[in-house]
Structure 1
């Protein structure tokens, strides 16, 4: 679903799901930094491993 479709959804849980995923992603990044572990993300349809060091240097990585 697109952001626009999510915003128009009748189900309130579905409407707020994008915000919840963003909060979860931010929390995962914080935990990865605290525990010196990497996270795996999908960027341009490719899996990318981001180390805690990279996340510390560039929080938007």
Structure 2
């Protein structure tokens, strides 16, 4: 299901789920930066560790836009 499909869902909880997932991802990145630990995700079926330095750089780039 695409984001557009979810935004058109009849169920209000389903419509809100995408925003909730985005918020959870942002909070996970912030917590990894705060605790100076890697963020661990699964990307293309592989476990990927993203170091806090990379998260900080991405955060600064986002603010600079």
Query: What is the TM-score of this pair, normalised by structure 2?
Result: 0.77
User: Quick one: distance in 2 between partners of 1:42 and 1:30?
Assistant: 18
Moved more, 14-23 or 51-60: 51-60
1:22-61 CA-to-partner distances (Å, cap 9, x unmatched) read 011001000000001111224445432101111112227x
Structure 2 spans left out of the alignment, 5+ residues: none
Over the residues paired in the alignment, what is the CA RMSD in angstroms?
1.7
Q: How far apart, in 1, do the equivalents of 2:24 and 2:37 lie?
A: 16
If each structure's helix is expressed as a fraction of its own residues, which one has the higher value? 2
Aligned to 1:10: 10
- 1:50 corresponds to which residue? 50
Structure 1, unmatched stretches of 5+, are: none
Q: Tell me the matched-pair count.
A: 60
Cα separation, 2, equivalents of 1:4 and 1:46? 27
The equivalent residue for 2:21 is 21
**What is the TM-score normalised by the length of structure 1?**
0.81
